[in-house]
Amino acid sequence: MFNRSRRNLASWFTLSMGSILVIFAGILYYQESVQQLEVVDLILYKKSRVITSSIKYKDYQGEKRVFLKNLPVLGNNPPPDDSDIIYARWYDPDGNLKRYFGLLTQKKLTRNFSYQTLKIPNKSDLASPETWVREITLPVQHQGELIGYLQMAMPMTRVHEILNKFLILLISTVFIALAITSLTGWFLSGIAMQPIQLSYKQLERFTAHASHELRTPLAAILSNAQVGLLAPMEDSHSKHLRLEKVAEVAKSMNTLIGNLLFLARRTGRLTPESLKEVDLRDLLAELFNSPSVKTAAKDLNLQNDLPKSPIMVKVDADLICLAVMNLLGNACKYTPAGGMVELRLFSRYNQAFIEVEDNGIGIAAAHLPHIFEQFYRVEQHQTNSASGFGLGLAIAQQIIEAHGGYLSVKSEQGKGSVFQIKLPL
């Protein structure tokens, strides 16, 4: 599934980038074509101006006449071989052809200044029977009077050669870029799939753990119910004992399902409407003196170090109490009788710090990176309480992150642990 998704991502990335490259290459080719055509037009225009500047227009036997004998190309002297002029024609003001050099076609004269690209037959070269030429038609005036038209053409062979080389370069570049893009797309899609794979594995592990945790109490309920049914009708004590066990296991299941629902619903950051400004000092003092904390720490030395001045933060008070209660509950659970558990609060650098420290059994370094994972439980053999579901720290971390805070832990096996909550002020 992940390989198929990765291939699809890489394919779409390559297709989108390939389309952009092809469009960009097309624009470059068009710009180069226009530029080459402008160069040919400029050369044609300059050569035409050189020819027309040599035209003699003067009186001859009482009338104005144009003398073309001394003109370059059209005059009596043939043009040099490297002139690149296919043909040159001179028309009078009425459009009648008067003199020409090179090919002569039956094409009608256009009486406006214009450039045209034409295809003419090439009789001297059977391998390429047609030649593309660029033609200019230039009206010629003398002192404001139209005296004729000069029409001249140059071959576009060189332009085609330049454009063909440029096209081959563009195609090669596009193919090389597509190959690099496809490799990059495959690499990037692999990076993009990593969080999805991680989430999928976490979901898979969460589902397996939740199923396992739910199946155990369900089996206990079924077993107790069956044993209770097998007891004689008059043995009410045995039935009552079985019902008490069923109720106890059902209560445990209810707690587990409540924790699972909490983890499923409380995702992402909290909305601003759910946050209220509270004094953390008063909130933690109330929690510290609550019966649940006193009960959990009945055999321990429970202390607090709360500041004298208030520390105001915008939080969901119930959720913060739940997170701190989970940390205090764990500290009391994994601290032997007579040990110390301390709750501290202070502020520094625009942050509020809540610390829960104990001198209990501590956590081995190998377990520290995993203790905030759901259903992760450290096998401890010296606890003074029954093990839980492994969701308390995951819930605490999710609550703190939902407030934009950070939960961390420092622990050393045999010496105790310090859990620290950072909350923005």
- Rounded to whole angstroms, the Cα distance separating 36 from 55 reads 30
Residues 97-115 have a mean pLDDT of 80
- Predicted confidence at residue 264, as pLDDT, reads 67
If DSSP codes are grouped into helix, strand and coil, which group holds residue 344?
strand
d(CA 106, CA 314): 91
Amino acid code (one letter) for 170: L
Please report, as a single letter, which amino acid is at residue 174: V
- What tokens were used for 72? 């370059």
pLDDT tens digit string along 326-370? 899 888 888 888 889 999 999 988 899 999 999 888 888 888 888
- 109-142 tens-digit pLDDT: 778 899 989 888 776 655 566 788 899 999 988 8
| CA 333 remoteness from chain centre | 45
Q: Is the pLDDT of residue 386 over 60?
A: no
Q: Give dist(CA 125, CA 127) in Å, integer.
A: 5
Which pLDDT score is estimated for 23? 94
3-state class (DSSP) for residue 145: strand
Tokens standing for 378? 């450290």
Q: What is the pLDDT of residue 268?
A: 65
pLDDT digits (tens, 9 = 90+) for 261-312: 776 666 667 777 778 888 999 999 988 888 888 888 888 888 888 888 889 9
**Rounded Cα distance, 350 and 353, in Å:** 10
Query: Tokens representing 283?
Result: 């909130």
Please tell me the distance from the alpha carbon of residue 365 to that of residue 371, in angstroms, as a whole number: 10
Domains plus CATH for the chain?
A: 269-378+386-424 (3.30.565.10)
